């Protein structure tokens, strides 16, 4: 091999000279130009003395010079995606943006006319100035051609007069048909021609997924029929209320911009169907910080028909109150369970008492505090585990109606007992 190497090198030089005359210099110049144009260095390998074994394996004709003008695959992969992929990505991204834009335009043009501007006027008496008035505003949406409009209860609470402005500018005084403070819902009615009323389509909130498109239309800060877009940020939130000693359950959280004045307006899905009623924001700055809340549309579908029929919603009621049982409380009171609800009070002649749920039979003093003990410990409703009072209220409120029967599983005297309770109506609401 060592003796044949000079001969091969000489032969290679002759071949190189011949190839140069045949255009190899042009090829090399083209390669240099291509290399200069790309950010990834191109490796040119000239092999003048290949291993005979490699040559034999590759081809029966000896090859003396190999010129590689293509970057190594690893360098190409690191440098950048191929031109084809880059070209394909651009139009795809633009197409997606165009489609989303057209979707939002179509939804706004279709649903926007169903959103109304609600103005509430409140009268009060001042010691020095006598009768005074204030106004507030919010949003609402038309649900049928009979003139019924859904909004938030807090938008029209204590109002002496409620006016509604339709999309075509028509302004009329509305009647308050029914209210439900616990679910922060109210139904208004306007007496106008059905031709002026375009109803929304109600969707479904039980099947929502985090990440779905969420579109809000309303009147933030008095700016009529403004649209904002976001996503469903979370589901199943519990939202305490200021005006009533009750929480909103299964609330939808969204980052679509919601501000004062959006209350009562619809939250929509990507098909323009109502999935919630915008009702509150996380009040840090007084304006939207990307954390808004909406009453789920399944609550609307459950409550609104009763508001239209009788002006109020009948809330199911078990008729007990109790302590949340924790491992620490169970150890302190020597309870037979470390989770559930220790019944501390049973409403006389209430649903639970009539069914046989037992309340406390004695009191103990712990850290100078009297604690009723000896009552049942509720651990399940209809076979579903219940660990605290909020879970109990949520289940009864969202899954049951007045007159339904709920099976209450209790621990009593270290044994388990099932008690069927016929739910009554929550008093004073």
* CB within 8 Å of 137: residues ≥ 6 apart: 117, 118, 119, 120, 155, 219, 222, 261
Q: What is the DSSP string of 394-426?
A: HHHHHH--TT-EEEEEEEETTEEEEEEEE-EE-
User: Two tokens at 136?
Assistant: 């507030």
Ramachandran area for residue 356 (φ above 0: left; ψ -120 to 50: alpha; else beta):
left
> Does the annotation mark 263 as catalytic?
yes
Tell me the Cα Rg of the chain. 37
- How far is CA 299 from its chain centroid? 16
> Does the annotation mark 92 as catalytic?
no
Q: How far is Cα 114 from Cα 391, in angstroms, rounded to an integer?
A: 36
Of 114, 137, 163, 184, the catalytic one is 184
User: Two tokens at 89?
Assistant: 């990505």
Q: Which residue, among 197, 195, 151, has the nearest Cα to 175 in the 3D structure?
A: 151
Residues listed for the chain: 429
Q: Which residue, among 253, 158, 145, has the nearest Cα to 194 in the 3D structure?
A: 145
The CA-atom distances, in angstroms, between 61 and each of 24, 64, 323 are 20, 10, 93
Checking 131-134 for CB contacts under 8 A at 24+ apart, the result is: 133/160
* CB within 8 Å of 230: residues ≥ 6 apart: 214, 216, 254, 255, 256, 257, 290
Ramachandran area for residue 320 (φ above 0: left; ψ -120 to 50: alpha; else beta):
beta
Of 139, 154, 205, 315, the catalytic one is 154
Tell me the β-bridge partners of 422: 405
> Does the annotation mark 270 as catalytic?
no
Q: How far is Cα 310 from Cα 137, in angstroms, rounded to an integer?
A: 26
Of 120, 257, 263, 288, the catalytic one is 263
Q: How far is Cα 426 from Cα 182, in angstroms, rounded to an integer?
A: 11
Q: How far is Cα 276 from Cα 219, in angstroms, rounded to an integer?
A: 16
Active site residues: 154, 184, 263
């Amino acid at each position: 091999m060592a003796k044949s190497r000079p001969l091969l090198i000489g032969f290679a030089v002759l071949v190189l000279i011949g190839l140069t005359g045949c255009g190899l210099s042009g090829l090399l110049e083209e390669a240099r130009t291509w290399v200069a144009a790309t950010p990834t260095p191109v490796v040119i390998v000239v092999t003048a003395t290949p291993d005979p074994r490699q040559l034999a394996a590759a081809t029966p004709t000896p090859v003396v010079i190999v010129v590689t003008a293509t970057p190594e695959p690893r360098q190409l992969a690191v440098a950048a995606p191929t031109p084809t992929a880059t070209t394909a990505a651009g139009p795809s991204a633009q197409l997606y943006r165009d489609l989303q834009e057209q979707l939002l335009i179509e939804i706004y043009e279709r649903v926007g006319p169903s959103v109304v501007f609600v103005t509430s006027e409140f009268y009060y008496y001042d010691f020095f100035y006598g009768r005074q008035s204030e106004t507030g505003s919010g949003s609402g949406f038309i649900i049928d051609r009979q003139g019924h409009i859904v909004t938030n209860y807090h938008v029209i609470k204590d109002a002496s007069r409620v006016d509604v402005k339709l999309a075509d500018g028509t302004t009329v005084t509305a009647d308050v048909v029914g209210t439900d403070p616990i679910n922060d819902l109210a139904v208004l009615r306007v007496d106008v021609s059905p031709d002026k009323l375009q109803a929304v389509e109600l969707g479904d909130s039980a099947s929502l997924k985090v990440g779905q498109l969420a579109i809000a239309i309303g009147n933030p800060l008095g700016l009529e029929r403004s649209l904002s877009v976001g996503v469903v940020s979370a589901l199943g939130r519990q939202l305490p209320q200021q005006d009533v000693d009750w929480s909103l359950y299964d609330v939808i959280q969204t980052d679509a911009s919601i501000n004062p004045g959006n209350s009562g307006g619809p939250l929509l899905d990507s098909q323009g169907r109502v999935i919630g009623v915008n009702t509150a924001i996380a009040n840090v700055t007084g304006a939207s910080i990307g954390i808004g809340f909406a009453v789920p549309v399944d609550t609307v579908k459950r409550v609104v028909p009763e508001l239209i029929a009788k002006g109020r919603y009948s809330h199911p009621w078990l008729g007990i109150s109790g302590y949340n049982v924790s491992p620490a409380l169970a150890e302190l009171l020597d309870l037979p369970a470390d989770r559930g609800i220790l019944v501390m009070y049973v409403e006389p002649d209430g649903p639970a008492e009539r069914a046989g749920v037992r309340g406390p039979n004695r009191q103990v003093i712990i850290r100078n505090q009297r604690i009723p003990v000896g009552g049942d410990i509720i651990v399940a409703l209809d076979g579903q585990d219940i660990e605290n009072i909020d879970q109990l209220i949520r289940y009864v409120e969202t899954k049951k109606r007045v007159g339904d029967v709920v099976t209450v599983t209790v621990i009593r005297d270290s044994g388990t007992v099932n008690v069927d309770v016929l739910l009554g109506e929550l008093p004073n609401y």
